Amino acid sequence: MLKIVLTLWLITLSLFTYGEKTNLQPADGSSQPSERLPLKELRLFTEVFEQVRIGYIEELSDDQLFDRVIEGLLANLDPHSTYLNQQSYQELQENTSGDYGGLGMEVTTDQGLILVVSPLDNSPAAEAGIRSGDYIVEIDQQSVRGIGLQKAIDKLRGEQGSKVSLSIAREGEAEKIQLNLEREIIHINSVRSRILEENIGYIRIAQFQTNSGDEFKTALNELQAEAPLQGLVLDLRNNPGGLLPESTAIADALIGEGLLVYTEGRLPSANREFNATSGDLLDGAPIVVLINKGSASASEIVAGALQDQGRATILGTRSFGKGSVQTLMPLDDGRAIKLTTAHYFTPNGRSIHGEGIEPDMLVEPAEEDLEDNKDPQLEAAIAQLKNSTATP
């Protein structure tokens, strides 16, 4: 029992030390926690911990139990706060750099199930027909209800060539959809570009990863070198988000001046403003941004900034509606927590959380059974640009 109490105190003290190192200070600006430690609750915790440790049907080490305590604490806050063990933390870092083994989709939790935010381009998930808004209810014939987001992600990922079965619930479908998928190494090409027609450029951003901002600027400059662009289609459909700095860098490249996005949280360090600094690389040429219900988080930051600043026409369907900011906090031994610390707002003060971005032009996607591979949203974007004149 003494060992447990001492361990708990060490963890508590280390958390406060970490808060000082990362500027996570109390809202009153003081350098010490604003309230005394909850000694009564800590004693109760140690009692419960000890009863579980000696009486639970399976023998678990102290480390295993503490992992589960932290997982439970974060999982009950919101769908996006989570505990990352060494493997999960490493996989997250691989994900932001663009290479990992798995199915290639962004997921979150909703009502105890796993909700697909978006499948990634050319991934096993996308090729199997998984859509934004699908619910994963079983993985390898095991229910996912209540297992938590990180454990579900661990089950979905795996070595290249290994297989996994999924049971999918989809709105409008009476029966569950059964899928068998083979995991692959997911290589995410963050930015792709090409000329469409009549000096109209097209840039697709699949996810906001490390260096996506620089890659976007390079792609835009290369398109401009072919011929001065008279318009740009920025495709953010099925882009689940990613790194906030990369999204603001891309919005900054297209907006000459003004506010891009701001965040608000409990701590002063969570309250930030991001403003345009670099000028407009398109010199006012018109922009159409494509979004759908798979466009989330950082995608919504870019679309919201361009919409509120009157810099682009937003076309497609309403976006996902993830307007919260997660801060990655490394712990000891290669572990970390991902904690929701703020909400972000568009320049006009709109909170997108749970609401999404409403397009200026509502254009539905092609029906699934069309065989001519038409893209009515892209066609509408091209038509809109042809009818537009450059903004002075």
| DSSP code per residue over 305-373 | HHHHTT--EEEES------EEEEEEE-GGG-EEEEEEEEEE-TT--B-TTT-PPPSEE-PPPPTT-SS-
**Mean pLDDT, residues 335-359 taken together:** 94
Shared domain for 212 and 163, answered yes or no, is no
Shared domain for 47 and 71, answered yes or no, is yes
Q: Considering the domain boundaries, does residue 391 fall inside one?
A: no
Tell me the pLDDT tens digit for each residue of 34-63: 456 788 888 898 899 899 999 999 998 888
Choosing from 121, 212, 308, 319, the catalytic residue is: 308
Residue 159 has a pLDDT of 86
Q: What CATH number does the domain containing 370 carry? A: 3.90.226.10
The residue ranking higher by pLDDT, 24 or 299, is: 299
Shared domain for 273 and 357, answered yes or no, is yes
How far from the centroid of its chain's Cα atoms is residue 207's Cα? Answer: 9
Residue 29 has a pLDDT of 43
Q: Considering the domain boundaries, does residue 10 fall inside one?
A: yes
Amino acid at 259: L
Question: Which stretch of 76-90, 124-138, 206-220 has the lowest confidence by average pLDDT?
Answer: 76-90
The residue to which tokens 């307007």 are assigned: 323
Q: Is 247 a catalytic residue?
A: no
Which residue, among 299, 322, 310, has the nearest Cα to 234 in the 3D structure? 299
Choosing from 293, 322, 324, 338, the catalytic residue is: 322
**221: enclosing H helix or E strand:** helix 212-226
Angle between helices 212-226 and 244-254 in degrees, nearest 10:
30
Q: Are 118 and 105 in contact (CB under 8 A)?
A: yes
C-alpha span between 177 and 131 (Å, rounded): 12
Q: Are 300 and 352 in contact (CB under 8 A)?
A: yes
Shared domain for 376 and 256, answered yes or no, is yes
Output b/e per residue, 234-252; b: 16+ Cβ within 10 A.
bbbbbbbbbbbebbbbbbb
Q: Considering the domain boundaries, does residue 147 fall inside one?
A: yes
Shared domain for 183 and 195, answered yes or no, is no
Q: Considering the domain boundaries, does residue 304 fall inside one?
A: yes
Q: What CATH number does the domain containing 154 carry? A: 2.30.42.10
Shared domain for 60 and 108, answered yes or no, is no
Which residue, among 50, 71, 46, 70, has the nearest Cα to 60 in the 3D structure? 50
Maximum C-alpha span of the chain: 75
Q: Considering the domain boundaries, does residue 392 fall inside one?
A: no
Q: Are 260 and 347 in contact (CB under 8 A)?
A: yes
Q: Which residues pair with 118 in a beta bridge?
A: 106
Tell me the pLDDT tens digit for each residue of 148-182: 888 888 899 888 899 999 999 998 899 999 999 99
Which residue, among 328, 291, 322, has the nearest Cα to 116 in the 3D structure? 322
Shared domain for 348 and 253, answered yes or no, is yes
Q: Is 386 a catalytic residue?
A: no
Judged against a pLDDT cut of 80, whether residue 18 lies above it is answered with no
Judged against a pLDDT cut of 60, whether residue 24 lies above it is answered with no
Shared domain for 181 and 140, answered yes or no, is yes
Q: Is 322 a catalytic residue?
A: yes
Shared domain for 170 and 273, answered yes or no, is no
Shared domain for 53 and 152, answered yes or no, is no
Residue 314 has a pLDDT of 98
Amino acid at 112: G
Judged against a pLDDT cut of 50, whether residue 117 lies above it is answered with yes
C-alpha span between 73 and 75 (Å, rounded): 6
DSSP 8-class letter at 278: S
Shared domain for 170 and 209, answered yes or no, is no
- Which of 165, 187, 209 terminates a domain? The answer is 187
Q: Strand runs (DSSP E) across the chain, as ranges?
A: 82-84, 99-102, 105-110, 113-119, 135-139, 142-143, 163-169, 177-182, 184-187, 191-197, 200-205, 231-235, 259-264, 272-275, 287-291, 313-316, 324-330, 336-345, 361-362
Which residue, among 81, 28, 42, 10, has the nearest Cα to 329 in the 3D structure? 81
Global pTM value? 0.78
Judged against a pLDDT cut of 60, whether residue 252 lies above it is answered with yes
Judged against a pLDDT cut of 90, whether residue 363 lies above it is answered with yes
Shared domain for 202 and 288, answered yes or no, is yes
Q: Considering the domain boundaries, does residue 152 fall inside one?
A: yes
Choosing from 88, 297, 299, 324, the catalytic residue is: 297
Q: Considering the domain boundaries, does residue 30 fall inside one?
A: no
Judged against a pLDDT cut of 50, whether residue 201 lies above it is answered with yes
Token pair recorded at residue 317:
């369907």
State the virtual CA torsion across 14, 94, 344, 24 in degrees, nearest 10.
Answer: 10
- Which of 159, 187, 215 terminates a domain? The answer is 187
Q: Which residues pair with 138 in a beta bridge?
A: 143, 167
User: What is the extent of the structural domain holding 178?
Assistant: 86-97+99-187
Number of domains making up the chain? 3
- Which of 162, 187, 212 terminates a domain? The answer is 187
Q: Considering the domain boundaries, does residue 213 fall inside one?
A: yes
